[in-house]
Amino acid sequence: MLDKIAVFDTTLRDGEQSAGVRFSAEDKVEIAAALAAMQVDVVEAGFPAASAGERQAVARVAREVRSTSVCALARALPHDIDAAAEALRDAAEPRIHVFVNASDMQIARQLGRGREEVKEMVAHAVARARQAAGSVEFSPMDATRADPDFLVEVVREALAAGATVINIPDTVGCALPGQVREVFRGLRERLPELDEAVLSFHGQDDLGLATANSLAAVEAGARQLEVAVNGIGERAGNTAFEEVVMALRVHGAALGVATGVDASGICPLSALVEARSGIAVPRNKAVVGANAFRHASGIHQDGVLKWRENYEILDPASIGHPRGSEIVLGKLSGRAGFVARVRALGIELSDDALDAAWQRFQALADRVAIVEDDALAGICEKAVARC
């Protein structure tokens, strides 16, 4: 029996915190509907206290996307919680996500308060949120830089006030996987009452460790992971949705866990978020980058042609990839890849013509990065004419 990992998508909230991104209400509904269709457990639709437009957009998602839990973010302030509650009024399964600074640095230098005041804010805010929603998530912000003793105290306060989900954010993306495991183990050891709540992890990718940290959190007991499609989000972004879902496909059995996400929607969803956010997916991005299933070097081409899994751990069809595995020809390609592309174009060549075409191909490949199909067809035509 595998434990379920709930996937909490924050593309529409932390993802929208990417500099230069603004989702319209229509964008939010479209993306939320795509996430819901893929059985994502929770969609964080936005931060209603931020503006009237944001409140309306979250309310539209809550009204129109009924088959998943819709969540709204709120600081630990009455006004924010009321704004979130109002925006979620028509949600089928509302969740309010309350957060407050928890590291001493942020408590002193951003919030300008003391630890005791923070605990009081948490107790009041979580209790107020629980009056409006059956599901309340609490995040002690900057948890990975917080004093572990204070983290225990503030989480205890949130649980006592009725929090149903405790989310541990690595807000500045500074933690190593071992440290994440330590934070989770420490909390679980010292707070037996945590067993009644869902433990969650929210990773930022400042050091490129967000996915590794998310998996470490799972190893130490997290049963919800917060992610954003294409890894978009504040600064260097959030844990990438597609990386977590596929890493858990590959390693879930070993970890004793599985998500309920339908991975076949990953590529269309990635393309949708790329289009609506305006943030281009890097070619070499894990899982959804344009090069993720493209093979350029001779040894890899030969291997993948003989047995796809020699050089691919994911099946492109399983994530709704529009093209599948590709052999891309260039100067590092070998004869096996070259012949395969020629055949794929439906061109039949005699042995002599094939040799001549190969010579021409190699000469061209030394001058251009990719020998495209048109150029390859032209090379073959000339080789046939010469033989």
Q: Rule CB under 6 A: which residues touch ligand KIV? A: 14, 99, 139, 141, 167, 169, 171, 202, 204
Phi, psi of 222, rounded to the nearest 5 degrees: -65, 140
Q: ∠ at Cα 372 (370, 373), nearest 5°?
A: 155
Minimum distance of ligand KIV from residue 145's CB (angstroms): 11
Burial 343-356 (b: 16+ CB within 10 A, else e): eeeebebeeebbeb
Task: Give the residue with the Cβ less far from ligand KIV, 202 or 360.
Answer: 202
User: How many angstroms separate the CA atoms of 54 and 225, rounded?
Assistant: 24
Task: Give the residue with the Cβ less far from ligand KIV, 48 or 265.
Answer: 48
Are 71 and 45 contacting, i.e. CB atoms less than 8 angstroms apart?
Answer: yes
Q: ∠ at Cα 165 (161, 168), nearest 5°?
A: 105
Q: Which two tokens stand for residue 64?
A: 């129109």
Alpha-carbon distance values, 138 to 97, 296, 307, 387 (Å): 6, 47, 47, 74
The DSSP code sequence of 209-229 is -HHHHHHHHHHTT--EEEEBG
Q: Which two tokens stand for residue 173?
A: 């993306």
User: How many angstroms separate the CA atoms of 347 and 340, rounded?
Assistant: 10
Minimum distance of ligand KIV from residue 234's CB (angstroms): 6
User: How many angstroms separate the CA atoms of 48 and 94, rounded?
Assistant: 13
User: How many angstroms separate the CA atoms of 273 and 71, rounded?
Assistant: 19
For the chain, the helix, strand and coil percentages under 3-state DSSP, each to the nearest 5: 50, 15, 35
Task: Give the residue with the Cβ less far from ligand KIV, 169 or 316.
Answer: 169
Distance of CA 285 to the CA centre of its chain: 12
Give the list of residues 6+ apart from residue 43 with CB closer than 8 angstroms, or none.
9, 12, 32, 35, 36, 61, 65, 68, 69, 70, 71
336: amino acid identity, one letter: A
Task: Give the residue with the Cβ less far from ligand KIV, 233 or 337.
Answer: 233
DSSP state of 107: I
Q: Which two tokens stand for residue 255?
A: 């970890």
Q: ∠ at Cα 83 (78, 86), nearest 5°?
A: 120
